[in-house]
Structure 1
């Protein structure tokens, strides 16, 4: 997600990103480079949404995995943030971002395609799933760090809110269409074969990105580059900045709790509520509807409520509604509970658009990769633990109780940003 080349030291004036784009500045889709990125994001996210539904169902339905094995699979999917999260930022800051985005998309597609091949050959095991999930997760770390660092260069810092809002909107559309496509497809051909669609989406996404010709200068190499020193610079920048520190700590609590919740959500829907793959896909599509509404309204909400305030107010208002799901039973109540998940997605996208734009605008160009990697390492580092905790807690007290715990943790994630704002902090969060 790239920019005007403005070098920002320390605390950058937040006024540059608080206002939503005006009608005169709303023509990013007329830019050929952004239009290709938009299309590539759509296809890549479609593949990702199909993967989100199909991969755990390969374990749950095709391989009869138990709750802990499903949790371990989730942990393997996200362990890359812990394994390479910090070095990835330093490495990406040394490189042009476009080749990293393209290469990791194509490599992820290749890794995913091995699952249906192994299934058809009769050699697929849960350990194979773990290995693919780990490789895919490591590649995703590099993809995300490069993607976030690329956008300011591509659209300019003054249009980050618009760019992030439009990309969030297309992600939300695919969050609706992906599960709606995957559910019936899984029912027709099985979860392993459905992963062909996921791999194809990521492959075409990478190919589309090859057509983006926006000039990207090669980063100026250091005379004596040292990985450890570069990593420390990124970590120090994030943790020393009050606004960045508050947002990434809140993200850490939210993501750990969300993954605990998600790990048992599929088990709860499939085994306790009794939904087939089509019903599960319908529930997840409802989450996509909420995310789309959030993306379409994010700029207006941030302008009305205040960008700093909305970062903590959105989860505080919407996360408690996820407690409806553990109370759901077969029948109409599960679709009422699905409204709570839609609200979670709405609030999540509003928060992420405001927060991502803020983080990118506060960070100098030469630190964008390391800022993104550090934020991801801190905020995503607990995700593998969340998968393990979700699986272990589900085995010990059941899926429904685990959903209650996850809902509580997601609600409490608003506290770091909220407390900083209430203290009248002198960073971006305190400026409304």
Structure 2
């Protein structure tokens, strides 16, 4: 039976080194996303945080992408030691997160500590992601790159939906601070798996970091599809951050959903992500990789419009959140797997870390602004109107993709130069 199951796995998962790398990366991604709900719920439930304080917490978690990601790409290319760097990032996040339940047990937990933990874990998570992108190229032959990208981006996208659901259920079972203990264990497990991998890493380059940064930015700016993808992704991240920063406050306070109901709803959204990962290839073959990317970019934020329709009837509200998360999870996978495959196909190996660093800086960096905007909107106009603005803005973020020939891409494009 085990041999039969192995035969049905994608070819890359038959390789021990890649399988351990992919498993470690998946565990680490999942731990990141558990933190995205366990830390905010700790602030809400244990410290009674306000919308503005929640916005500041979200901003600090994403601020490292804005401050460091561009330079991190050059740093990783120049200094190498990718596996060791990823292990240190895992251990560092485990230690930072463990400080929260310890402080809570001692009765000394404060919002400034949560803000510091969010900044530290955000910094280490960003560094881990850039290094893993380069280590991936050392583990995977170019002929298997699309399959490998689908596996790694698929697990990343799946963690976006499954992680918060798992975090919500852990909060219901053991309290928000204690849920972070499980998160700590996940990062340590990822570090142990990475330690067991033997791989010949690429030689560090002799160029300076500043030169690397300029080269990566020039490549992105002169490649029209990447330029449009980054702009669209930046807008989508901005509005989704506004939405998610206020989402937990809205459904826990105005819709009165319990942490357990929140966890179940988000967990069922993981089923949508899983379905999306299965059907992305089918959609790509039927309507083309480009149109699959566009459809996912609309469905991912558009499905979330169901949440602001929530009423005082707790079960109706719960049902709307479940359906929204289910459909949004599917859209996320269509968007992320197709979009990431297009980006990887266009990007030459020599630019990979720099483009990834630029992506994290220019795309994820806007989450800092989104979290601050969310805090302001939630305070000034209320949670429900702010959610509506976030959903509408998220849907409109697809427009830059319509200005370039993405919709006409039936298959992956050739590498750009």
Above 0.5 in TM-score? yes
Shift of 1:415: 0.9
Shift of 1:302: 1.7
Match of 2:402 in 1: 418
Question: Which stretch shifts more, 65-74 or 207-216?
Answer: 207-216
After superposition, what is the alpha-carbon deviation per residue over 1:195-218, rounded to whole angstroms, capped at 9, x for unaligned? Answer: 011111011101111112132232
Q: Structure 1 residues 71, 158: closer, same or farther in 2, change over 3 A?
A: same
Question: Which stretch shifts more, 414-423 or 246-255?
Answer: 414-423
1:97 equivalent to 2:82? Answer yes
SS in 1 for 2:315: coil
Match of 2:298 in 1: 316
In 2, Cα distance between equivalents of 1:429 and 1:308: 10
Match of 1:274 in 2: 256
Shift of 1:35: 1.1
Normalised by the size of structure 1, how large is the TM-score?
0.88
Shift of 1:429: 7.1
RMSD (Å) for aligned C-alpha atoms: 2.4
Shift of 1:363: 1.9
In 2, Cα distance between equivalents of 1:64 and 1:215: 49
Match of 2:370 in 1: 386
Match of 1:86 in 2: 70
Shift of 1:86: 0.7
From 133, 137, 144, the counterpart of 2:122 = 137
Normalised by the size of structure 2, how large is the TM-score?
0.91
SS in 2 for 1:99: helix
Shift of 1:303: 2.2
1:114 equivalent to 2:96? Answer no
Question: Which stretch shifts more, 356-365 or 393-402?
Answer: 356-365
After superposition, what is the alpha-carbon deviation per residue over 1:118-147, rounded to whole angstroms, capped at 9, x for unaligned? Answer: 112222110111111011111111111111
Q: Structure 1 residues 400, 302: closer, same or farther in 2, change over 3 A?
A: same
Shift of 1:165: 2.6
Match of 1:341 in 2: 325
After superposition, what is the alpha-carbon deviation per residue over 1:130-169, rounded to whole angstroms, capped at 9, x for unaligned? Answer: 1110111111111111112222321222223322333345
After superposition, what is the alpha-carbon deviation per residue over 1:407-429, rounded to whole angstroms, capped at 9, x for unaligned? Answer: 1111011111122127979x977
From 245, 252, 255, the counterpart of 1:263 = 245
Q: Structure 1 residues 176, 415: closer, same or farther in 2, change over 3 A?
A: closer
In 2, Cα distance between equivalents of 1:82 and 1:389: 16
In 2, Cα distance between equivalents of 1:252 and 1:384: 11
1:248 equivalent to 2:252? Answer no
From 37, 46, 49, the counterpart of 2:33 = 49
Structure 1 spans left out of the alignment, 5+ residues: 1-22
Match of 1:161 in 2: 146
Contact 1:67–1:391 (CA under 8 A) maintained in structure 2:
yes
Match of 1:307 in 2: 289
Shift of 1:180: 5.0
Q: Structure 1 residues 40, 118: closer, same or farther in 2, change over 3 A?
A: same
Question: What pairs with 1:183-194 in structure 2 (closer than 5 Å)?
Answer: 183-194=168-179
From 62, 74, 85, the counterpart of 2:58 = 74
The 4+ residue runs of structure 1 with deviation greater than 6 A are: 422-425, 427-431
In 2, Cα distance between equivalents of 1:292 and 1:378: 28
In 2, Cα distance between equivalents of 1:374 and 1:172: 19
Contact 1:50–1:197 (CA under 8 A) maintained in structure 2:
no
Q: Structure 1 residues 348, 43: closer, same or farther in 2, change over 3 A?
A: same
Contact 1:166–1:295 (CA under 8 A) maintained in structure 2:
no
Shift of 1:116: 1.1
Q: Structure 1 residues 63, 341: closer, same or farther in 2, change over 3 A?
A: same
In 1, Cα distance between equivalents of 2:182 and 2:408: 49
Contact 1:421–1:429 (CA under 8 A) maintained in structure 2:
no
Contact 1:175–1:284 (CA under 8 A) maintained in structure 2:
no
In 1, Cα distance between equivalents of 2:278 and 2:376: 38
In 1, Cα distance between equivalents of 2:31 and 2:298: 30
Match of 1:402 in 2: 386
In 2, Cα distance between equivalents of 1:199 and 1:269: 27
Shift of 1:173: 6.0
After superposition, what is the alpha-carbon deviation per residue over 1:358-398, rounded to whole angstroms, capped at 9, x for unaligned? Answer: 22232222221111011221112211010011111011111
In 2, Cα distance between equivalents of 1:112 and 1:263: 20
Structure 2 spans left out of the alignment, 5+ residues: 1-6
1:125 equivalent to 2:107? Answer no
Shift of 1:181: 4.3
Shift of 1:259: 0.4
Q: Structure 1 residues 208, 324: closer, same or farther in 2, change over 3 A?
A: same
Contact 2:303–2:328 (CA under 8 A) maintained in structure 1:
yes
SS in 2 for 1:421: coil
